[in-house]
Amino acid sequence: MKETVKLDPLDRRILGELQRDGAQSNGDLAERVGSTGPSCWRRIRGLEAAGVLTKNVWLVDAARVGQSVNVLCNIRLKSHSAEHTAMFENFVRDQDRIMECLSMSGEWDYQIRVVATGVADYEAFLMHRLLRNEAVAGAASHFALRVVKYQTAIPLPDE
């Protein structure tokens, strides 16, 4: 398990602002969090070095680029062997349309979130890729009707 990094109030304000708008200038960020530009810059570099900040990306609206279908798919592996686990997880890493993959407790081994252009596109992925993976014993698909909430910002509780 990864070690938790201790955050002070300024770190939490910086992280909150960067999660809200990662494209803002360092000067604007410093003003919003009540700090100076150089101090903010050093804090950001420190948070990167500590592994708290990992990437700087733009979020794409999936529907606007034709990926309007969201499917949550539960996966059962044929066995829990290291070979099948590695085979499935490597498959997941290679599939751009798999947006998230969670190892689960309970009845299913994994849950993935898949984006697709439509039902036929998802069916092709399911039948010709996912279910043909030698590690996969079965899958159950659940189509999202609409996105009620989508959030990428991690809550930063006060200490």
**Residues sharing a CB contact under 8 Å with residue 113, sequence separation 6 or more, in sequence order:** 70, 71, 72, 73, 98, 99, 100, 101
Q: What is the pLDDT of residues 107-137, one digit of tens each?
A: 999 999 999 999 999 999 999 999 999 999 9
Confidence (pTM): 0.89
The answer to whether the 1-59 and 63-143 domains have the same CATH topology is no
Band of pLDDT at residue 158, cut at 50, 70 and 90? confident
- Residue 2: the pLDDT is 81
Please write down the HEC assignment for all residues of 28-58: HHHHHHCCCHHHHHHHHHHHHHCCCCCCCCC
Cα three-residue angle 77-113-108, rounded to 5 degrees: 30
Quickly count: other Cβ atoms within 10 Å of residue 40's Cβ: 24
Can you give the residue ranges of every domain in the chain?
1-59, 63-143
Residue 58 has which token pair? 């733009």
Residue 141: is its pLDDT beyond 90? yes
CATH of 63-143, one of 3.30.1360.70, 1.10.3720.10, 3.30.70.920, 3.40.190.10: 3.30.70.920
What CATH architecture is 1-59?
Answer: Orthogonal Bundle (1.10)
Q: What is the pLDDT of residues 44-90, one digit of tens each?
A: 999 999 999 999 999 999 999 999 999 999 999 999 999 999 999 99
